[in-house]
Amino acid sequence: MIPITEYAGRDVAVFGLGRTGLSAAKALKAGGARVHAWDDDEDTRRQAEAAGMTLSDINKRDWQTFAALVLSPGIPYKFPQPHRIVRMAEMTGVPIVGDMELFARAVQALPERGRPKIVGITGTNGKSTTTSLVGHILKQAGRDARIGGNIGTGVLDLAALHANATYVLELSSYQLDLVKSLHCDIAVLLNISPDHLDRHGGMEGYQAAKMRIFQNQTERDTAVVGFDDVITQSIAIGLAARGPARVVQASSSYALGRGVSAVDGRLYDSTSGNAVFVGNLADCAALPGKHNHQNAVAAYATCRALGLDPQTIMEGLKSFTGLAHRMERVGEIEGVRFINDSKATNAQAAEQALKSYDNIYWIAGGVPKSDGIGPLTPYFPRISKAYLYGEAEEPFANALKGRVATQGCGTLENAVQAAFRDAKNSGIDNPVILLSPACASFDQFRDFEHRGDTFRSIVEAMMPTELRELA
């Protein structure tokens, strides 16, 4: 844990007690603050109490006593409209911060020589894989790498700050909306496509949130920017022109004159102006496809900026075993494969899975994004049938009408059982049941991890005992 001492002896409100909220509350308490933790959801409050957190209904407190409101990233901050707790803080002049801002201030409070390295990674898609990949490469090279943020472990639950450590942090747009002090020695922006637009007031606000990852960089820092979409191409060129950080372009589509490229799966480093062949990404079993090649080139550029040599990085790329909830094979029953791609929370992410398989029995649903599944139209011929659940059931059925057979299932469990029944009776060779929801999870699950874990549990419960023991 990273104790937060900034508010020692003062009252602090914490609203939203999911993973990051609980992490922040515990860190503040460890640092001597009087913590008033609350969540609107009764089940979440019950889980927080079970985890040892003392609750305090901040709706009934005197807000003039609060030194700050720590807001969980899942709570609407500005759009589509501020949550009532946000409005209450604004009306009483209580500063609003997030867990990442608390972390950033704790780092900045250290003497400069005592600060760890900070790697921040964001983008619409691929940030979890890239964060895990960078952390893996650093650990394989013997570095003290601590991986968290929007992935796995909340940032304040990571091991205490240490000058020789490198914190590799996945940063969501929600988290970036709440940071002012974060200084990334290496800031990575992979790509930008429409996502979470309702939470940012449109594309301009979403892009502005992502750009905050670069806001405190200096001439000693590095910005790694994907070069595979028009928006990030413009950002890379703009950052290089105005500085102050050194910009490294990373592409899985173009042979760059200066940068890091994957050309037909072959990794080249041309940061010095001369293209040097590093290795073949076909040798990296857990990184198939162009989308993963973009993750690989970004991870390579990041690790080079941290001082690792090319071959050490390449060995790390080869030994990477992949990311849970991202095209994760969870088992096979009677010739039917089950793939957990719960991390696919939008159409662009689901596209990577749909184009990787044939004979797909597709499970999709949850809270739909603004662009729906229109971008997935080219991959509809790969889908044998779609099994829909949650808030997206009706709009997705309408989008697929006349193109793909669908079944409304209501819940994920019903969808898995229906898909398995149809797949095993289809007579098709190598059918795949693919959970790739193209939706946020919040209608029925805490987060995408909870959704993916539930899928895995459903599949394991369907397995014969001998297969379950091997899974």
How does pLDDT run across 224-240, given as a tens digit for each residue? Answer: 999 999 999 999 999 99
Question: In this model, does residue 342 exceed pLDDT 60?
Answer: yes
Please tell me the distance from the alpha carbon of residue 62 to that of residue 198, in angstroms, as a whole number. Answer: 31
In this predicted structure, the answer to whether residue 322 has a pLDDT above a threshold of 90 is no
Q: What is the 3-state secondary structure (H, E, C) of the chain?
A: CCCCCCCCCCEEEEECCCHHHHHHHHHHHHCCCEEEEECCCHHHHHHHHHCCCCECCHHHCCHHHEEEEEECCCCCCCCCCCCHHHHHHHHHCCCEECHHHHHHHHHHCCCHHHCCEEEEEECCCCHHHHHHHHHHHHHHCCCEEEEEECCCCCHHHCCCCCCCEEEEEECCHHHHHCCCCCCCCEEEECCCCCCCHHHHCCHHHHHHHHHHHHCCCCCCCEEEEECCCHHHHHHHHHHHHHCCCEEEEEECCCCCCCCEEEECCEEEECCCCCCEEEEEHHHCCCCCHHHHHHHHHHHHHHHHHCCCCHHHHHHHHHHCCCCCCCCEEEEEECCEEEEECCCCCCHHHHHHHHCCCCCEEEEEECEECCCCCHHHHHHHHHEEEEEEEHHHHHHHHHHHCCCCCEEEEECHHHHHHHHHHHHHCCCCCCCEEEECCCEECCCCCCCHHHHHHHHHHHHHHHCCHHHHHHC
- CA–CA separation, 150 and 220 (whole Å): 26
As a whole number, mean pLDDT of residues 49-57 equals 93
Q: Average pLDDT, stretch 429-449?
A: 94
**What are the φ/ψ torsions at residue 254 (nearest 5 degrees)?**
-125, 145
Catalytic residue ranges: 127, 150, 196
Mean pLDDT of 303-324: 96
Query: pLDDT tens digits for 370-408?
Result: 889 999 999 999 999 999 999 999 999 999 999 999 999
pLDDT of residue 469: 46
pLDDT at 152: 80
Mean per-residue pLDDT for 14-40? Answer: 96
Cα radius of gyration rounded to whole Å, the chain = 23
Do 279 and 317 contact (CB within 8 A), yes or no?
yes
Percent of the chain with pLDDT over 90: 88
CA contacts within 13 A on the Cβ side of 410: 2
pTM over 0.75: yes
How far is C-alpha 391 from the geometric centre of its chain's CA atoms? 22
Structural domains for the chain: 11-97 (3.40.50.720), 102-319 (3.40.1190.10), 328-461 (3.90.190.20)
Residue 299 — very low, low, confident or very high, per pLDDT cuts 50/70/90? Answer: very high
Query: Is residue 323 very low, low, confident or very high in pLDDT (cuts 50, 70, 90)?
Result: confident
Tell me: pLDDT of 184 over 70: yes
Query: Which comes out higher in pLDDT, residue 342 or 321?
Result: 342
Average pLDDT over residues 262-277: 95
pLDDT at 464: 80
When comparing pLDDT for 288 and 312, which is higher?
Answer: 312
Of the ranges 128-137, 271-280, 347-356, 457-466, which one carries the lowest mean pLDDT score? 457-466
Q: Annotated binding residues for ATP, as ranges?
A: 123-129
Binding site residues, as ranges?
Answer: 123-129
> What's residue 465's pLDDT?
64
Report whether pLDDT(147) > 50.
yes
- Identify the CA nearest to 371 among candidates 235, 228, 197, 213: 197
User: In this structure, are residues 73 and 149 in contact, taking their beta carbons and an 8 Å threshold?
Assistant: no
pLDDT greater than 80 at residue 466: no
pLDDT in the model for residue 443: 92
Q: If you average pLDDT over every residue of the chain, what do you get?
A: 94
The whole-number pLDDT of residue 470 equals 45
**pLDDT attached to residue 334:** 94
What does the pLDDT average to over 424-452? 94
Higher per-residue confidence, 371 vs 315: 315
